[in-house]
A = this chain, B = another copy of it.
Amino acid sequence: MKAIIVRRGNSHPELAEVPDPLPESGEALLRTLRVGIDGTDHEVIHGNHGENPEGDDYQILGHEAVAVVEDANGTDLTEGELVVPTVRRPPNGTNDYFKQGEPDMAPDGHYVERGIVGAHGYMSELFTSSPEFLVSVPDSFAEYGFLVEPISNSEKAFEHAFASRSAFEWNPQSALVLGNGPLGLLTLAMLETPSSPFERNYCLGRRDRPDRTIEIIERLGGTYIDSRETPVDRIPDAHEAVDFVYEATGYAKHAFETVDALTPNGVGALLGIPSDWEFKIDGGRLHRELVLQNKALFGSVNSNISQFEAAKVRLSEFPDWFFDAFVTGVYAPSEVETAFATGDESIKTVVEFDTL
């Protein structure tokens, strides 16, 4: 079958012919429709995420997918059913994190990640999976169901944020998304859905107008903040201190400036994954602010099946125009180079292997 892979030692994706996967007992065979591309894929391509699947000198990319059940193979799935696969799998047999339905909380060594580390991804005509790692979605998700995965990461972050403030009466009204990349924009869209409790949402970027991401931010109802004019720690003066910060830049100074952007009792979720970087902070002041104002910070990675389910509900609340504005390119597997190219005109690109 055709697959988009990165070979050991290379740092570019390529279309290749690889063996068809054979479903083991208890696994179904899936036919891939679309697979989204995100920053993690670029990190995998540049070798920042470690090992190929055992025994292979290449890795099939992709972890944001929507697919159709091709062969139920004795599982309780229905052929033709649309599904979205989760990302983490147990490495060798299962473990407590998977048994509890919380692979997202498993530490290093207790999971592999499809398309990221130690397991093949979904950028291939076919893939296999146990049904426990698949979320059933309606046929209307055939085009944009691949967004369930990135949204599920934010669902987890939202869940942990509310949990962290659950020891008291917390009624957040304002949120700040750091970063106008795909995850930032999706998260802003989540904050702007009718069921969201957040009434005033800001999104930070560093783009000049006219810009597609700024247009999306404003059409969603959010306020664009240019970080070159208003650094994160000046946002309380320029706009307001916010109840919730969602960091999706991977710019490490933002993690610490988040403390200043928060209102008392607020919480910051960190999702970016920066490299080592030494810099100076006023650690005394930050520490004191955290304490005297009951502020919180936490990191969040990956997501579990219940968060995929929540993402599925959330996605159905998104306005129709959003998808057309947000998905800036749908490419055939043969257009791999264009699909993975990045630039200010590109927001979210997707590889289409098949349609319903």
Q: What B residues does A290 contact at CB under 8 A?
A: 255, 270, 297-299
In the bound complex, CA of A236 to CA of B70 (Å): 48
Known A164-B298, A299-B290: A281·B282 in contact at CB below 8 Å: no
Q: Of the listed stretches A59-67, A79-87, A100-108, name the one at the interface; the rest are far from the partner chain.
A: A100-108
A85 to B102, CA, bound (A): 43
Q: Which residue of B lies closest to A281 (CB)?
A: B281
* Residue contact B276 to A282, C-beta cutoff 8 Å: yes
The reply to whether A277 and B271 form a contact with Cβ atoms under 8 Å apart is no
Assuming the contacts A167-B163, A277-B282, A283-B255, asked whether A265 and B105 have C-beta atoms less than 8 A apart, the reply is yes
Q: A296 at interface (Cβ–Cβ under 8 A)? A: yes
Secondary structure of the A contact surface, majority rule: mixed
Contact indicator A288/B273 (Cβ below 8 Å):
yes
Answer whether A252 and B292 are a contact pair too, CB < 8 Å, given A159-B167, A282-B277.
Answer: no
Answer whether A294 and B289 are a contact pair too, CB < 8 Å, given A167-B163, A169-B100: no
CA distance A280 to B278 in the complex (A): 7
- Interface residue? A312 (CB, 8 A): no
Q: Are A285 and B276 in contact (CB under 8 A)?
A: yes
Q: Does A274 contact B (CB under 8 A)?
A: yes
Complex CA–CA separation, A69 to B281 (angstroms): 49
Cross-chain contact B297 with A296 (CB below 8 angstroms): yes
Closest to A269 in B: B291
In the complex, A195 has a CB within 8 A of chain B: no
Question: Known contacts A272-B287, A281-B281; can you find 20 more A-B pairs with CB under 8 A?
Answer: A100-B169, A104-B294, A105-B168, A108-B264, A108-B293, A160-B296, A163-B164, A255-B290, A273-B292, A275-B284, A276-B285, A277-B283, A278-B284, A279-B283, A280-B281, A290-B298, A294-B299, A294-B300, A296-B297, A297-B298
Q: Sample 13 A-B pairs with CB under 8 A, ordered by A number.
A: A102-B168, A104-B294, A160-B296, A163-B165, A252-B286, A253-B283, A255-B290, A276-B288, A278-B280, A290-B298, A290-B299, A291-B301, A294-B299
Query: Residues of A at under 8 Å CB distance from B?
Result: 100, 102, 104-105, 107-108, 156, 159-160, 162-169, 252-253, 255-256, 263-265, 267, 270-301
